Amino acid sequence: MARSLACELGTRLIILHVAAVQVLVDGTAAAEVDPRTYREALEDVRKRLDGPDLKYPVEIRLNRGFDREEIIQVAKECGCGLIVMGTHGRTGLGRLLMGSVAESVMTRANCPVLIVKAQRQVPAPAADRPADKTVTVI
């Protein structure tokens, strides 16, 4: 979605990942992920999204910190005209416990925020039963 908008509008596309701050348990880092892992994944995303039809090359950024704060800060620093975010679409107890980064950013951003819910993965039909029919609503 973000790439399509950047292409159509001729604007910059910045892919941001915010790595959580280090969590310490009894003075030892718990489940620390090597920053190179994040950088490699971001570089893979950049390569997939970049192309000659974009006016500007796709940029990637890796920040450490509290996700909500970092997203707002980077948007301000870059002069973002639109923030495009994915969401898990949690509801009920999951949302209460985990919170909503997208909702927090949406209420605090100085620019419009487009929230895109990821498509649900549908398992392939079993070989012993017929495939579900597809219905298209226009």
Residue 95: the pLDDT is: 55
Q: What angle do CA 13, 104, 57 make, to 5 degrees?
A: 5
pTM of the shown model: 0.72
First to last CA, the chain: 20
What is the DSSP-derived secondary structure letter of residue 19?
E
Place of tokens 């100085």: 110
Domain spans of the chain? 1-65, 80-120
Q: How far is the C-alpha of 81 from the C-alpha of 36, rounded, in Å?
A: 29
User: Could you report the per-residue pLDDT of 58-78, keeping only the tens digit for each?
Assistant: 999 999 888 999 999 999 999
The DSSP 8-state label assigned to residue 98 in this structure reads: H
Neighbouring residues of 5: CB distance < 8 A, sequence distance ≥ 6: 11, 82, 84
pLDDT at 135: 43
- Reduced to 3 states, what is the DSSP secondary structure of residue 99? coil
pLDDT in the model for residue 91? 66
Task: Name the stretches of the chain with pLDDT < 70.
Answer: 22-32, 89-99, 119-138
